[in-house]
Every structure is written in structure tokens, then in C-alpha cells.
Structure 1
């Protein structure tokens, strides 16, 4: 090998392989072996990763106007859904009103008979009602009592309904002694879904239904983390929002009175897609006859679609600018015996490790790279304030040392450099010099 080297030198042929020296262009180079103590010092260099624009943290339900809405109606009130403390939007108070009988409700009518005790009469009547499922208020708002006829009850309070039944019984010459009660409440309901034990329709009865009771009827809230969870109430085209943490901390919010047609959704993220799907299903099932609410849902969907398109366009514009190099980025550079000599853009909103940079680009060139000579070259300053270079040296001859690479934090303009193996340097020098040697030998033979 020495003879060949002399021959190469004599022919004026040399091969220069890059390596880490103690001096470069007048700048001192300090090689620091990378261990746990050196790792902590290297990571102490201040660096704050660049952040993605706010458009990447927003969703379609975020507040703010969107250009080009044209003649669309004003968007319903939608909570701010950016990653920040959730805004409290309590629905307006509902004044308690007497229960009005509606379509689908079942009423029980108890009357006295000429014979038998009151208990026997009532028991017999209840058994009969159970067989025919009571007097159900039909779609036309009336019930049909055999021997009495049809009586309009829809829209009447219980007292008004008793008066209507009294008049109908008296007109038929029947003893007007009776009692009337609502056995099944089917006309007024509140839909509860999302992060609850069992989504269901909760009926409104003679007593008012508050938010805490509705959630309890659905099995309660089922959440691992309440920090960004919210209870959304959809009412008359408007979304109201109560953060779950605030809901449990303030009893008065648990007593929020609900009204017929409300949809309650316990949401665990900022995206309205699932909530909107739930609202749409409930509107189709329970509010099909309400054209105004269907229109409100369409307006809400149109507004969110426009906002989603605006966000997508803004994100695409940013991505295009980044691809064209118009956005500021921080880079780390890879050189030497790596699988691909290139530059690695440091990620947004998080730190990147030496292992991230190395293995994202294919790792070391296993056939030529020297795993004991891995360096991170970083600009630094001497004790006197002069410019210098620190070469953090990772010896991965023992593969366990790569654990340090997963903890070493990269900084902008770091250079990851891997030296070639000694045999690689010799092989390349020989490969480049071989044509010259052949030419020289041929010339000597000719002479």
C-alpha cells in the first residue's frame, strides 16, 4: 500500500477526502465528544421552532367573516374553535310554560261506573287502556273516545284538555265525573348525543327539563379530558356552547332550561362536522315539519362550507409559497458519507433531533460511511467572543450510542457530516489514480 501511495505521489496524483480538522479558514474548531453531559449543554442553545400560520389551527367553524358571501343570510352564531379557552355562550332563558298536549302524546281517562268500587273501576280502566295503548293524540290533534266521539286536545294545557273532555261528556249525557292525565310524553323532546353513554331523545313532561337532567337521562358525560370538551346546544338556527369544565363548576348552568326541538351535543374536538351530522339527523327525524329550522341548517352548512374552502385556499397558498422558497425556513445541511447529501427543513412547532435528520434522508451510507465519525458542526464563539466552530462528535461504533442521537436537538444551519471509512478513502484514491497509472506505465513501456 505504501508503495502504491508513493507511486501515486510520484505521478502527481492525490485524493482529498473531507474530514474535521482543528482549524478552518482561521476559525478554531473544537471537537466535543457527545455524551449525556455534553448533550445537555448542546441542547441549551436557545431556539424556538417556527410556527405554522394561524390558518392551520383554525377550522371551518372559527369566527370571522369570509369574503364573497354574496346574498347568503347571516351565519348563525358559532363558537370560536381555535385552540384556546372555549367561549361560554349560554342560550337565552326559557320562561316556564304549562305543558301543552301534542301529537303523539297518550292520555288516560278514568271515569266512574254505575257498579263496582272505585278501585275496581279504575283498575279495569287502566287494564283496558294498557291493551289499546291509551288514547293517543292523532296527527289531526284529536283523540277518539268510544261513545263520546272525537275531542281536540293538541295545543291545550292539561286543565284546558279536562275542560274540553268535560264538555264532550256532558253533551253525551254521561256522568261527568272523570280524571285525565298524560301517560306518555311523545310530542316534545330534546335530542342528546355526542360523548354521552347512550344518545337518546329525552321527553319534556309536565315539569321543565334542564340541561343536567337531559345529560343524566343519556347516561351522563363520558370524557377522558374535559379541557377542550364542550356542550353545544342547537336552537332555532343558532349554536350555543358551554365548556364542560365550566358546566360542572357552575350549578346554575346545569339548571339551564331546555325547550322542545333543542339538540344537545357533547363535543370533544373543534370540528363541527360530527355535530352538524347529528343536528341534521335530529332535524330530519324530529323537526321535519319545521321549514324554518331546515333553512337554518342549510344556511349553517353553506357558511361552514365557504369557510372551509377559504381555509383550504389559504393553506394551499402557504404550501405553494413554501415549495417555491418564498417562505422563511430553517434548514440543517447533510454532507459527507450520508445516503443523500441535501438540506433538511426543520419542522414547524417542534424540535428535530439528530436521528430525525439523519434517518429522514436515508441514514449513513453503510458501505462507505464511518459510524465512529459522525459530527454536527455548529457555529459558536470562543471565550473571548471570537467566531468559532463546535464539532459535536457522535461515536456510533457502538449502536447503543444512537440513543444520544434521538435526544440531540438540531439548530438552524447545523451541518451533519459523516467521514468516510479509511478503506473508502484509499479505494477512491486508487480508483481515480488508476487511469493515470496505466497511462504512465504504458508510456514507460513504449519508451
Structure 2
């Protein structure tokens, strides 16, 4: 065939195709299809809000992906040995030797303390906050675990040990905000168990006096222990063991010496009210306190070992549940939400919407490699969204013109919904090229057959 004849054939392709009975159908978005009414809506900065108003809650990952392996806390770590009785009396002059007065320190929450979340509207627990913590409402608050955290159902673990009450409250608030919850609440300490002062000897009730938000004074601590029961206050010594140093004062000084009465105590102070000036029994008491510290440490080490074993078991169980879920998802046994890719996309198929978050049109396009601008028409990008309920015969085709690349920012705002179809039309030159590519062998064949005389 001469070149002039070939040029004529190319210029008259559409006519020749029609004459030869060859047609090429290019997929397009039409306003009527299969009895469905199609409304084409241009994606703009204002209309994208309308598109996103369609309700959709992304599917969530199973609880196993949110849970953290944690033990149930330490056991027996706060046990103390019995406090010995006071010694017998022998008279001797008692000199006063007091430790330096401590600057007032704000109470810092410690391991073993119990806290409670309370709404501002009433004195009930946070159970009123939409059932967020229903699993915890039957308990008296939350115990600070050995790792310094409290565990809130549906929220997770929050570190509050070593914090002041205000800082701990802020940490809880930030954790709730991170879960898109902004409740009105306050944090209270209901049980002070982490920091104590030991009192023994000639008091009505020997034992531990906890430190609390209010600084603990020497006079108040003795009052909480039931007061001094020694008959001769002038011949009775109050001895304070602190950080390896022994301090003392006569019991009678509590009435006359405000500085002694208001002496601020600190955690792990040991007080012994002594009617003898022989320190043997007092030393027995302090040795018992030192032994108690050792016992607590040993008990803590044992409990930590048990806790690690328990956490290991829980972690293995979590890993097994997560692996099972992943296997079910790969085998298609888990229900998923999908959008579908058609037309001039990198690869036609379906894309699963992510767990726990919204996906945009840009996510769907560019996670899958986008589209080929050589064949796809950036001016004709559509999100075809079927109607639901009583509007199931209506289809909306959201149209994005990305010839101006600035409009791709709209694709980052356009949220996907289950069963959306992302469709990109062909370039006009692509339609002509593909039509010619399919028709050319037929045209050549007819031309050859015509030249040879074959009908």
C-alpha cells in the first residue's frame, strides 16, 4: 500500500471502522445506566464536606491489638513484722535533739496508693461518663501498680507514680483526650498506702501512719497513733530514727515546744516512744523497721518475678490472638470494607479500607500506585458512590478535575466510603489509539483480501 493510501486510511478511520463493523467501546460516566439515576457532582472545597457527611465508622482492630500485657500487681509486698513493746522506765535527763525542719513538699503519688475518678456533677465514679469504665465501678478506685501506672479499661495504662495530684490528673486528662474523650472529672486519692511513718512503744495504737496530701506533723502522727500512754511524760522520750541518725526530745516538749510539735515527718521515719533511757528496746524497734524494709524489698523481688511470668503468659496469649486474626484476614474470613478501582488506574481491583481511621481518595489512589497520566485523563477522575436505603436507585458520581494539580488537595480531603468505585477515564488520544490498535489488523486483512480477490 502506498503512503498516500495509508494516510487516507488513517484520516478516515472512524468511517472505515463503521463500514467494517468494528466498534470500540470506551468506559465513561453516563447519567443513565441500568435503571439508575446518576448525578454528577463536582468535587470542590465546599462540596467535599457534603460528600464526607455520609456516615461511616471505620472497623476497629480486635481488642488484642489494643491490650497490653500487665500483671495484677504485687502481693504481700507491704507486710511489716510485729512492732515490739516499749521498755521499762528508768529516770534520766532527756536532751532535745531535732532534725532540721523540712521544707513543705507536695505529696507525690506512689506505688500502692488508690485513686478514684469522680465527675464534677456528683460524687460517683466515672461510670457516668458513657460507660467508659463500667468494668471498674464495682471497685474502690484504681490501685497504682508496681510499674507506677493505673490501668483504665478502654484507655490503657497511665503513669502517675511520682506525680503530684494535679500532674496525675493532667496525665489522665491527656490519655482521655487521646481517645477522643473530653470528660469533666477530678482525680482523688482515696487510700494513701505508698508512704508511711512507723510508730511504736508507749502509744495507744502502734503501727503505720500514712503520709497524705496534708504534711504530717509529729504531734498529729502521735495523735493518730492514739496518743502517748506513758504515765510520766517528763520521763518519757520520743525518739525519731531517720536516715541512719537518731533524734530525740522529751514527751513533755510537745505541749510547750511548737517547733517540736510541728516537726514535719517524711516517708520511712520511725518513731519510738520510750519510757526507759536504755536504748536496747528502742534499737530493737528500729532494727525491726530496717528488717521490714528488707522484707519488703525481698517480697517485691519475688512478686516482680511472678509478675514477669504472668506478663509473659499474657503476652503469648495476645500474640496468638493477633496471629489468628491476621491469618483469618489473609484467608478472607474477616469482614472488611472495600472500595473498587476501575479505568485507568495502576491496577484494577479492590482496596480494603484501613482499620480505625478514615481513608481519603488520595490514600486509595497513591497507596496503589496512582494512575498513568499517559493513558488516564486527570480531568476525569470520579468517585462513584451508590445510594443506600430508599435512595438505592440513585448514584452520585463525584467528579475531580486534577488537570490543576492544586485540586489534588481536594483528593486528600475526600473520604472514602464502603463500595465506592474510583474510576478514571481514558485520555482522548488513548481512546483513538486503542480503537485503531484493535481495528488495524482487521483493516489490513480486508485490504489484503480485497486486493487478492478473496470475498
Q: TM-score range by the shorter chain?
A: 0.5 to 0.7
Work out whether 1:404 is the aligned partner of 2:410.
yes
- For the residue of structure 1 that corresponds to 2:366, the secondary structure is helix
Corresponding position of 1:24: 33
Contact in 1 for aligned 2:60/2:355 (Cα 8 Å) = yes
Aligned alpha-carbon RMSD (Å): 4.4
The partner residue of 1:301 within 296, 302, 308 is 308
CA gap of 1:214–1:251, structure 2 versus 1, over 3 A, is: closer
- For the residue of structure 2 that corresponds to 1:310, the secondary structure is helix
Work out whether 1:432 is the aligned partner of 2:419.
no
Structure 2 CA distance, aligned partners of 1:421 and 1:368?
A: 5
Work out whether 1:333 is the aligned partner of 2:340.
yes
Corresponding position of 1:56: 65
Corresponding position of 2:376: 369
Structure 2 CA distance, aligned partners of 1:250 and 1:96?
A: 34
Q: Note the residue ranges of structure 1 that are not aligned, 5 or more in a row.
A: 64-74, 78-90, 98-155, 164-175, 184-204, 216-229, 261-285
- Offset of 1:12 from its aligned partner? 1.7
Corresponding position of 2:183: none
Corresponding position of 1:380: 387
For normalisation by structure 2, the TM-score amounts to 0.54
> Size of the alignment, in residue pairs?
287
- Offset of 1:258 from its aligned partner? 2.3
1:11-410 maps to which residues of 2 (within 5 A)?
11-61=20-70, 76=74, 212=107, 232=144, 234=146, 256-258=193-195, 292-380=299-387, 385=391, 387-410=393-416
Corresponding position of 1:9: 18
Deviations 1:266-312 (A, max 9, x none): xxxxxxxxxxxxxxxxxxxx979965443322211110000000001
Structure 2 CA distance, aligned partners of 1:8 and 1:206?
A: 104
CA gap of 1:254–1:289, structure 2 versus 1, over 3 A, is: closer
- For the residue of structure 2 that corresponds to 1:393, the secondary structure is strand
CA gap of 1:319–1:292, structure 2 versus 1, over 3 A, is: same
CA gap of 1:300–1:381, structure 2 versus 1, over 3 A, is: closer
Deviations 1:203-228 (A, max 9, x none): xx999x9993698xxxxxxxxxxxxx
CA gap of 1:252–1:325, structure 2 versus 1, over 3 A, is: closer
Work out whether 1:446 is the aligned partner of 2:452.
yes
Structure 2 CA distance, aligned partners of 1:180 and 1:393?
A: 89
Q: Note the residue ranges of structure 2 that are not aligned, 5 or more in a row.
A: 1-9, 111-141, 152-157, 170-185, 198-292
- For the residue of structure 1 that corresponds to 2:409, the secondary structure is helix
- For the residue of structure 2 that corresponds to 1:212, the secondary structure is coil
Deviations 1:157-179 (A, max 9, x none): 9x99xx9xxxxxxxxxxxx9999
- Offset of 1:233 from its aligned partner? 5.3
Structure 1 CA distance, aligned partners of 2:346 and 2:337?
A: 21
For normalisation by structure 1, the TM-score amounts to 0.54
- Offset of 1:29 from its aligned partner? 1.1
- For the residue of structure 2 that corresponds to 1:423, the secondary structure is helix
Structure 2 CA distance, aligned partners of 1:413 and 1:368?
A: 25
Structure 2 CA distance, aligned partners of 1:250 and 1:330?
A: 40
Deviations 1:331-368 (A, max 9, x none): 00000001111211111111111111111111112210
